[in-house]
Amino acid sequence: MFSLASGRIAVVVLVGVGLLAVFGPLLAPHDPLATSPDTLVGPSGGHWLGTDYLGRDVFSRLLDGSRVSVVGALEVTVMALVVGAIPGILSVYLGRVFEWITLRVADTLVALPFLLFAVAVTALLGNGITQAMFVTGALVSPLFYRVGRAATLAVARSQYVEAALISGASLGWIIRRHVWGKVLPPIAVALAQTLGVGFIIVSSLSFLGIGVQPPAPTWGGLLAADLGYLSYQPWAPFAPALLIMVTVWAGNVLADAIRDVSGGAGRALADSRKAALVGGRA
Protein backbone atom coordinates (compact mmCIF):
# COMPACT_ATOMS: atom_id res chain seq x y z
CA MET A 1 0.00 0.00 0.00
CA PHE A 2 3.02 2.28 0.43
CA SER A 3 3.69 2.22 -3.28
CA LEU A 4 0.82 4.65 -3.81
CA ALA A 5 1.59 8.29 -3.10
CA SER A 6 -1.88 9.11 -1.77
CA GLY A 7 -1.79 6.09 0.52
CA ARG A 8 1.59 7.22 1.84
CA ILE A 9 0.28 10.72 2.55
CA ALA A 10 -2.73 9.23 4.31
CA VAL A 11 -0.48 7.11 6.50
CA VAL A 12 1.60 10.18 7.39
CA VAL A 13 -1.55 12.11 8.31
CA LEU A 14 -2.88 9.27 10.43
CA VAL A 15 0.45 8.88 12.19
CA GLY A 16 0.34 12.64 12.87
CA VAL A 17 -3.17 12.30 14.31
CA GLY A 18 -1.96 9.37 16.41
CA LEU A 19 0.95 11.44 17.78
CA LEU A 20 -1.51 14.23 18.51
CA ALA A 21 -3.59 11.78 20.51
CA VAL A 22 -0.57 10.63 22.51
CA PHE A 23 1.20 13.92 23.11
CA GLY A 24 -1.57 16.49 22.48
CA PRO A 25 -2.76 16.78 26.08
CA LEU A 26 0.86 17.28 27.22
CA LEU A 27 1.50 20.04 24.69
CA ALA A 28 -1.53 22.13 25.64
CA PRO A 29 -0.18 25.59 26.66
CA HIS A 30 -3.13 26.29 28.98
CA ASP A 31 -5.36 24.25 31.24
CA PRO A 32 -8.14 23.18 28.83
CA LEU A 33 -10.74 23.46 31.59
CA ALA A 34 -9.60 26.76 33.15
CA THR A 35 -12.03 29.59 32.52
CA SER A 36 -11.02 33.25 32.33
CA PRO A 37 -12.79 36.59 32.00
CA ASP A 38 -11.48 36.96 28.42
CA THR A 39 -14.40 35.22 26.67
CA LEU A 40 -14.69 34.91 22.91
CA VAL A 41 -11.34 36.54 22.19
CA GLY A 42 -9.86 36.21 18.71
CA PRO A 43 -6.52 34.53 17.98
CA SER A 44 -3.53 36.15 19.63
CA GLY A 45 -0.02 35.32 20.85
CA GLY A 46 -1.45 34.12 24.18
CA HIS A 47 -4.38 32.19 22.70
CA TRP A 48 -3.44 30.92 19.23
CA LEU A 49 -7.00 29.97 18.35
CA GLY A 50 -8.68 32.42 20.71
CA THR A 51 -10.96 31.57 23.63
CA ASP A 52 -14.47 30.17 23.83
CA TYR A 53 -17.59 31.48 25.53
CA LEU A 54 -16.18 30.60 28.97
CA GLY A 55 -12.79 32.09 28.21
CA ARG A 56 -11.10 28.71 27.82
CA ASP A 57 -8.14 28.41 25.44
CA VAL A 58 -9.46 26.76 22.24
CA PHE A 59 -6.06 25.52 21.08
CA SER A 60 -5.47 23.75 24.41
CA ARG A 61 -8.95 22.23 24.30
CA LEU A 62 -8.36 20.99 20.78
CA LEU A 63 -5.07 19.35 21.76
CA ASP A 64 -6.51 17.93 24.95
CA GLY A 65 -9.59 16.59 23.19
CA SER A 66 -7.63 14.77 20.51
CA ARG A 67 -6.86 11.82 22.75
CA VAL A 68 -10.49 11.12 23.63
CA SER A 69 -11.54 11.61 20.02
CA VAL A 70 -8.89 9.30 18.56
CA VAL A 71 -9.31 6.66 21.25
CA GLY A 72 -13.05 6.83 20.60
CA ALA A 73 -12.53 6.27 16.89
CA LEU A 74 -10.19 3.37 17.61
CA GLU A 75 -12.74 1.86 19.94
CA VAL A 76 -15.29 2.03 17.17
CA THR A 77 -12.84 0.17 14.95
CA VAL A 78 -12.20 -2.52 17.53
CA MET A 79 -15.94 -2.89 18.07
CA ALA A 80 -16.36 -3.30 14.31
CA LEU A 81 -13.83 -6.13 14.27
CA VAL A 82 -14.91 -7.94 17.41
CA VAL A 83 -18.68 -7.53 17.20
CA GLY A 84 -18.88 -7.43 13.42
CA ALA A 85 -16.17 -9.08 11.35
CA ILE A 86 -15.33 -12.03 13.59
CA PRO A 87 -18.94 -13.17 14.11
CA GLY A 88 -19.33 -12.69 10.35
CA ILE A 89 -16.51 -15.14 9.65
CA LEU A 90 -17.74 -17.57 12.28
CA SER A 91 -21.33 -17.41 11.01
CA VAL A 92 -20.21 -19.57 8.09
CA TYR A 93 -18.83 -22.26 10.38
CA LEU A 94 -20.67 -22.36 13.67
CA GLY A 95 -23.84 -23.98 12.41
CA ARG A 96 -27.29 -22.90 11.37
CA VAL A 97 -28.55 -21.61 14.71
CA PHE A 98 -25.66 -19.20 15.20
CA GLU A 99 -25.91 -18.17 11.56
CA TRP A 100 -29.65 -17.50 11.77
CA ILE A 101 -29.45 -15.54 15.01
CA THR A 102 -26.52 -13.36 13.95
CA LEU A 103 -28.07 -12.67 10.55
CA ARG A 104 -31.32 -11.52 12.14
CA VAL A 105 -29.46 -9.38 14.70
CA ALA A 106 -27.44 -7.76 11.92
CA ASP A 107 -30.59 -7.06 9.90
CA THR A 108 -32.26 -5.53 12.93
CA LEU A 109 -29.31 -3.27 13.67
CA VAL A 110 -29.21 -2.06 10.07
CA ALA A 111 -32.84 -1.03 10.36
CA LEU A 112 -32.24 1.13 13.46
CA PRO A 113 -32.15 4.92 12.97
CA PHE A 114 -28.77 5.65 14.53
CA LEU A 115 -29.19 8.96 16.37
CA LEU A 116 -32.64 8.04 17.61
CA PHE A 117 -31.24 4.74 18.84
CA ALA A 118 -28.38 6.60 20.55
CA VAL A 119 -30.80 8.89 22.35
CA ALA A 120 -33.00 5.95 23.33
CA VAL A 121 -30.06 3.99 24.75
CA THR A 122 -28.94 7.05 26.70
CA ALA A 123 -32.43 7.54 28.07
CA LEU A 124 -32.61 3.88 29.04
CA LEU A 125 -29.11 3.12 30.31
CA GLY A 126 -27.90 6.56 31.29
CA ASN A 127 -25.20 8.67 29.71
CA GLY A 128 -21.57 7.63 29.55
CA ILE A 129 -18.72 6.35 27.42
CA THR A 130 -19.81 2.71 27.79
CA GLN A 131 -23.28 3.43 26.49
CA ALA A 132 -21.86 5.49 23.63
CA MET A 133 -19.58 2.60 22.66
CA PHE A 134 -22.53 0.23 22.78
CA VAL A 135 -24.37 2.47 20.38
CA THR A 136 -21.46 2.81 17.97
CA GLY A 137 -20.80 -0.92 18.08
CA ALA A 138 -24.41 -1.51 17.13
CA LEU A 139 -24.05 0.95 14.30
CA VAL A 140 -20.86 -0.31 12.68
CA SER A 141 -21.00 -4.05 13.35
CA PRO A 142 -23.60 -5.03 10.70
CA LEU A 143 -21.39 -3.74 7.89
CA PHE A 144 -18.42 -5.70 9.17
CA TYR A 145 -20.55 -8.74 9.80
CA ARG A 146 -21.63 -8.64 6.15
CA VAL A 147 -18.15 -7.99 4.79
CA GLY A 148 -16.58 -10.75 6.90
CA ARG A 149 -19.35 -13.20 6.10
CA ALA A 150 -19.40 -12.55 2.35
CA ALA A 151 -15.64 -12.90 2.03
CA THR A 152 -15.64 -16.10 4.10
CA LEU A 153 -18.51 -17.63 2.15
CA ALA A 154 -16.55 -17.22 -1.06
CA VAL A 155 -13.60 -19.13 0.40
CA ALA A 156 -15.42 -21.65 2.57
CA ARG A 157 -16.92 -23.61 -0.30
CA SER A 158 -13.68 -23.74 -2.25
CA GLN A 159 -11.99 -27.00 -3.11
CA TYR A 160 -8.72 -26.18 -1.39
CA VAL A 161 -10.60 -25.80 1.89
CA GLU A 162 -12.20 -29.18 1.26
CA ALA A 163 -8.78 -30.59 0.41
CA ALA A 164 -7.47 -29.33 3.75
CA LEU A 165 -10.49 -30.85 5.46
CA ILE A 166 -9.76 -34.19 3.80
CA SER A 167 -6.22 -33.99 5.15
CA GLY A 168 -7.66 -33.64 8.65
CA ALA A 169 -7.53 -29.86 9.12
CA SER A 170 -9.45 -28.40 12.05
CA LEU A 171 -11.64 -25.32 11.82
CA GLY A 172 -8.92 -23.20 13.40
CA TRP A 173 -6.34 -24.42 10.89
CA ILE A 174 -8.63 -23.70 7.93
CA ILE A 175 -9.41 -20.17 9.13
CA ARG A 176 -5.78 -19.37 9.93
CA ARG A 177 -4.29 -20.83 6.80
CA HIS A 178 -6.89 -20.52 4.05
CA VAL A 179 -9.60 -18.06 5.09
CA TRP A 180 -7.95 -15.24 7.04
CA GLY A 181 -5.56 -14.12 4.29
CA LYS A 182 -8.40 -13.76 1.80
CA VAL A 183 -10.90 -12.17 4.16
CA LEU A 184 -8.46 -9.61 5.53
CA PRO A 185 -8.14 -7.25 2.52
CA PRO A 186 -11.87 -6.41 2.29
CA ILE A 187 -12.06 -6.07 6.07
CA ALA A 188 -9.00 -3.78 6.06
CA VAL A 189 -10.67 -1.55 3.49
CA ALA A 190 -13.84 -1.36 5.57
CA LEU A 191 -11.77 -0.71 8.70
CA ALA A 192 -9.86 2.18 7.19
CA GLN A 193 -13.15 3.70 6.13
CA THR A 194 -14.65 3.16 9.55
CA LEU A 195 -11.72 4.92 11.19
CA GLY A 196 -13.00 8.02 9.44
CA VAL A 197 -16.61 7.25 10.25
CA GLY A 198 -15.58 6.63 13.86
CA PHE A 199 -14.58 10.29 14.26
CA ILE A 200 -17.90 11.39 12.87
CA ILE A 201 -19.77 9.02 15.18
CA VAL A 202 -17.87 10.11 18.30
CA SER A 203 -18.19 13.71 17.19
CA SER A 204 -21.90 13.53 16.45
CA LEU A 205 -22.50 11.78 19.75
CA SER A 206 -20.62 14.46 21.69
CA PHE A 207 -22.45 17.02 19.55
CA LEU A 208 -25.64 15.56 21.02
CA GLY A 209 -24.07 15.42 24.46
CA ILE A 210 -23.87 11.63 24.52
CA GLY A 211 -20.73 9.81 25.63
CA VAL A 212 -17.95 12.18 26.57
CA GLN A 213 -19.33 14.60 29.13
CA PRO A 214 -18.64 18.33 29.26
CA PRO A 215 -16.49 20.07 30.24
CA ALA A 216 -14.08 17.41 28.89
CA PRO A 217 -13.28 18.54 25.34
CA THR A 218 -13.61 16.49 22.15
CA TRP A 219 -13.32 17.64 18.55
CA GLY A 220 -17.00 17.15 17.98
CA GLY A 221 -17.88 18.84 21.26
CA LEU A 222 -15.74 21.84 20.36
CA LEU A 223 -17.43 22.09 17.02
CA ALA A 224 -20.84 22.01 18.68
CA ALA A 225 -19.89 24.73 21.18
CA ASP A 226 -18.38 26.92 18.44
CA LEU A 227 -21.51 26.70 16.36
CA GLY A 228 -23.50 28.28 19.19
CA TYR A 229 -21.38 31.43 18.93
CA LEU A 230 -21.15 31.54 15.19
CA SER A 231 -22.35 35.17 15.05
CA TYR A 232 -19.52 36.30 17.35
CA GLN A 233 -16.73 34.13 15.95
CA PRO A 234 -17.62 32.90 12.48
CA TRP A 235 -14.10 31.45 11.98
CA ALA A 236 -14.10 29.40 15.21
CA PRO A 237 -15.53 26.05 13.94
CA PHE A 238 -12.82 26.02 11.29
CA ALA A 239 -10.07 24.41 13.41
CA PRO A 240 -11.96 21.39 14.85
CA ALA A 241 -13.83 20.89 11.56
CA LEU A 242 -10.56 20.85 9.65
CA LEU A 243 -9.05 18.27 12.02
CA ILE A 244 -12.05 15.98 11.68
CA MET A 245 -12.15 16.42 7.90
CA VAL A 246 -8.46 15.73 7.36
CA THR A 247 -8.55 12.62 9.51
CA VAL A 248 -11.64 11.25 7.84
CA TRP A 249 -10.11 12.01 4.45
CA ALA A 250 -6.92 10.16 5.40
CA GLY A 251 -8.94 7.16 6.52
CA ASN A 252 -10.81 7.07 3.22
CA VAL A 253 -7.71 7.51 1.10
CA LEU A 254 -5.99 4.73 3.01
CA ALA A 255 -9.02 2.51 2.42
CA ASP A 256 -8.83 3.21 -1.32
CA ALA A 257 -5.12 2.49 -1.36
CA ILE A 258 -5.62 -0.83 0.43
CA ARG A 259 -8.39 -1.76 -1.97
CA ASP A 260 -6.26 -0.90 -4.99
CA VAL A 261 -3.43 -3.13 -3.92
CA SER A 262 -5.48 -5.82 -2.18
CA GLY A 263 -5.27 -7.94 -5.31
CA GLY A 264 -1.61 -8.23 -4.45
CA ALA A 265 -2.19 -8.78 -0.75
CA GLY A 266 -2.30 -12.52 -1.16
CA ARG A 267 0.82 -12.33 -3.24
CA ALA A 268 2.69 -10.45 -0.55
CA LEU A 269 1.61 -13.11 1.92
CA ALA A 270 2.84 -15.88 -0.34
CA ASP A 271 6.13 -14.05 -0.87
CA SER A 272 6.75 -13.87 2.85
CA ARG A 273 6.02 -17.58 3.15
CA LYS A 274 8.28 -18.24 0.21
CA ALA A 275 11.09 -16.50 2.05
CA ALA A 276 10.39 -18.67 5.09
CA LEU A 277 10.50 -21.79 2.95
CA VAL A 278 13.78 -20.86 1.28
CA GLY A 279 15.16 -20.02 4.70
CA GLY A 280 14.12 -23.44 5.97
CA ARG A 281 16.04 -25.08 3.14
CA ALA A 282 19.38 -23.51 4.08
Partner 1 sequence: MTVLDVRDLEVHYGHRRQRRRALAGASLSIDAGEIVGLIGETGSGKSTFARAALGLVRPSAGRIVIDGEDVTGHRERQWRAVRRRGVVQYVFQDPLRSLDPDLTIGDSLMEPLLLKGVPRREAVDRARAYLGRVRLDDELLTRLPEQLSGGQRQRVAVARALITEPRLIILDEPVSALDAATRVQVLEILKDLRTAGIALLFISHDLGSVAGIADRVAVLYRGEVVEVGTAREVVTKPSHPYTRLLIGSAPTLRTAAAGRAERAALRELLHSGKGTPR
Return the range that interacts with partner 1 (CB under 8 A); candidates 61-69, 175-183, 234-242, 252-260: 175-183
* Contacting residue, 164, 188, 241, 246, with partner 1 by CB under 8 A: 164
Return the range that interacts with partner 1 (CB under 8 A); candidates 11-19, 61-69, 109-117, 263-271: 263-271
Q: What is the DSSP letter of 49?
A: T
- Residues of span 88-147 touching partner 1 by CB under 8 A: none
The helix-helix angle for 265-281 and 180-207 (nearest 10°) equals 130
The helix-helix angle for 58-79 and 219-228 (nearest 10°) equals 130
Q: How far is the CB of 184 from partner 1 (least distance, A)?
A: 11
Pick the closest to residue 199 from 65, 82, 86 (CA basis). 65
- Asked if residues 170 and 93 have their Cβ atoms less than 8 Å apart, the reply is no
* Contacting residue, 43, 181, 209, 237, with partner 1 by CB under 8 A: 181
3-state SS class at 264: helix
- The yes or no reply on residue 30 touching partner 1 (CB under 8 A) is no
Q: How far is CA 206 from CA 52, 185, 203, 220, in A?
A: 17, 32, 5, 6
By C-beta, is 246 or 269 nearer to partner 1?
269
Angstrom distance (rounded) from CA 36 to CA 160: 68
* Contacting residue, 123, 162, 235, 238, with partner 1 by CB under 8 A: 162
What is the CA 36 to chain-centroid distance, rounded?
35
Q: Give the count of residues interacting with partner 1 (CB under 8 A).
A: 27
Return the range that interacts with partner 1 (CB under 8 A); candidates 27-35, 41-49, 95-103, 153-161: 153-161
- Asked if residues 76 and 136 have their Cβ atoms less than 8 Å apart, the reply is yes
By C-beta, is 8 or 182 nearer to partner 1?
182
- Asked if residues 144 and 84 have their Cβ atoms less than 8 Å apart, the reply is yes
Return the range that interacts with partner 1 (CB under 8 A); candidates 36-44, 119-127, 155-163, 231-239: 155-163
Q: Work out whether the CA dihedral 246, 51, 202, 64 comes out positive or negative.
A: positive
- The yes or no reply on residue 270 touching partner 1 (CB under 8 A) is yes
Peptide bond into 215 cis (omega under 30): yes
Return the range that interacts with partner 1 (CB under 8 A); candidates 5-13, 117-125, 169-177, 220-228: 169-177
For binding to partner 1 (CB under 8 A), which residues are involved? 158-160, 162-170, 173, 177-178, 181-182, 266-267, 269-270, 273-274, 277-278, 280-281
